[in-house]
Amino acid sequence: METITQDIIQNLKYVKVSNTNLDLSHFPNFMIVGPQRTGTTWLYWSLRQHPQVFFARPKELFYFNFLDMPEFPMYRSSELSWYLKYFDEHPVRYLWKNLTTLKNHGEFYRPKIRGEATATYAAMKIELVKEVVTLNPDIKIILMIRNPIHRAWSHAKKDLLKEAGKQFSDVSDQEFEKFFNDPYQLSCSRYTEMIDKWSSCLKAGNLFIGFYDDIQKQPEKLLMNIFNFLELRNDAKYYRLAQTVVNQTESINIPDKYQKMLEDIFEDEMDRLKQNFGLSW
List, for residues 43-66, the tens digit of each pLDDT value: 999 999 999 999 999 999 999 999
The model's pTM: 0.94
Whether residue 141 lies inside any domain: the answer is yes
In which element (H, E) is residue 142 found? strand 140-145
- Cα separation, 71 vs 276, whole angstroms: 37
Domain that residue 156 falls in: 6-277
> Residue 148, SS3?
helix
DSSP H/E element including 85: none
Mean pLDDT across 130-140: 98
Look at residue 20 and tell me if it is in a domain: yes
Q: What is the mean pLDDT of residues 185-206?
A: 96
pLDDT the model gives residue 250: 65
Domain containing 224 — which CATH number? 3.40.50.300
pLDDT band at 128 (very low <50, low <70, confident <90, very high): very high
Does residue 32 belong to any structural domain of this protein? yes
Q: Please say whether the beta carbons of 75 and 108 come within 8 A.
A: no
> What local confidence, expressed as pLDDT, does residue 216 receive?
87
Any domain includes 1: no
Closest CA to 36 of 116, 128, 139, 118: 118
Angle in degrees, CA 120, 125, 126, rounded to 5: 120
- pLDDT beyond 90 at 203: yes
According to the model, what pLDDT value does residue 131 have? 98
Which pLDDT does position 281 carry in this prediction? 84
The pLDDT of residue 185: 95
Tell me the pLDDT band of 138, cut-offs 50, 70 and 90.
Answer: very high
Q: Domains in the chain: how many in total?
A: 1
Q: Could you tell me the strand order of the sheet in which 30-34 lies?
A: 53-55, 113-117, 30-34, 140-145, 207-211
Q: Tell me, what's the pLDDT at 160? A: 94
- What is the mean predicted confidence (pLDDT) over 226-248? 83
Residue 167 within a domain? yes
Residue 26 resides in a domain? yes
